[in-house]
Every structure is written in structure tokens, then in C-alpha cells.
Amino acid sequence: MIRTPSAIAIVQSPPTGLADVGDRVLRSSVDVLLPVRSVAEMELHLAALRSAPCMLFVDASAGVDYEGLRELRRSGSGHAMVAMADDPGVDAVVDALRFGFIDVLEVRAEAARWRLAVDRAVTWLSGPSRNRDHVDGRPLREALLEPERRIIVAALEANDWNRGATARQLQIDRTTLYKKMKQFRIAA
């Protein structure tokens, strides 16, 4: 598992509570775990941490406080956001990835899936550029490739890697999906 010397996670627990598996993985993976109830509470912790890079696990089971999260993003901080939901549908996954979440996680997922989400967050935080909204002068087509890849992978995972169902969900031709999978080197 990837780990940084000062891994901080702020977790907005769903009303049903965080799954025991998720809680165990987070506690063993991070140095500081701060449970919160709302995005506003998340902001208070981030202010106290003086914008230290953090993993933000956001409760998306009943909808996401996008307005509150927009305020966090405007602060210029480079936080890795992971959405958590009881049963994330493909549409919710696509919306979350478009907004800038690096992963969408089922709250009751197995330990390996929680570790993967933490690893993705740590990798994102330790990347060369924390400000992922900035396209570094790249052409728009090139800047959109990574979000497109994430959307396709999320849709494939949500459809148990059934390419026909994934193509229907994404409203594209199956041949187009195969070409995109080849382009992005997504193995089925």
C-alpha cells in the first residue's frame, strides 16, 4: 500500500455509519483520521490544518453538497476527494468524476476496494501537480482524456465489465467503447 509520511483523511460519515471494513482500512492507512458530519465541518478542519493536503471522503449516499465542495476547491487546496455511497449508480459516478472526485466507493465495499481508494488518493496527492483543474496549456482534447478514461472505467466497473451494458449506459456504440478501451489501454 502506498503511504505518505503525513497522510490525513477527513471522513464525512454516512448516517448509517462507516462500514467496519472501511474504518479499519482508513485507521491502518492514515496518520490522522478526522470524522465529520458535513462539508462545512470539513472546511473547519482544513482551515485548522492550514491547507495541508488531505484525503476527503465525502458522503454521497443522499446527494453531494457540491456548493460546499466548490468552496473547498476555490481555496486552491489540493485535496483528493473520494465519494462514498451505499449503492453508487453509474450516473452518480459520472457526476462525481466530472466534478473532480478521484474515486467513487461503495460504503460497504471489501477491504481491497477501500485500500485501492486510499492508494489512489495518496497517489493523487503525491503527484507532480495537485491542481488538477489546470490543464497546463494543453489542448482541450488532451486535457479531457483522463476524465474520459475515469468515466469509462467507472462505468465498466459499475456494469461488472460487461461491455455491451457499459456502451448502452454511456450511450455510445459498442465499437466506440472497444476503440476507447484500446486507446486508454483498459484491459477487459
Domains of the chain in start order, with CATH, are 1-134 (3.40.50.2300), 136-188 (1.10.10.60)
Q: What is the pLDDT of residue 5?
A: 45
Confidence of residue 76 (pLDDT cuts 50, 70, 90): low
Average pLDDT over residues 124-131: 64
- Indicate whether 79 pLDDT > 50: yes
* Sheet architecture: strand order including 80-85: 32-36, 8-12, 55-59, 80-85, 103-106
Per-residue confidence (pLDDT) for residue 68, from 0 to 100:
76
Which tens digit of pLDDT belongs to each residue from 130-159? Answer: 444 444 556 777 777 878 888 888 888 888
Work out the percent of the chain whose per-residue pLDDT is above 70: 86
At residue 38, does pLDDT exceed 70?
A: yes
C-alpha distance from residue 61 to each of 41, 53, 64, 155 (Å): 18, 24, 8, 18
User: Which residue in the block uniquely carries the three cell numbers 455511497?
Assistant: 85
**pLDDT for res 148:** 85
pLDDT at position 6 is 63
Nine cell digits for residue 182 = 484500446
Q: What percent of the chain has a predicted confidence (pLDDT) above 90?
A: 10
| Average pLDDT of the chain to the nearest whole number | 80
Task: State the pLDDT at residue 188.
Answer: 65
Q: How far apart are CA 170 and CA 89, in angstroms?
A: 12
More confident of the two residues 69 and 137? 69
- 181 or 47, which is more confident: 181
Q: What is the mean pLDDT of residues 27-42?
A: 86
pLDDT at 167: 92
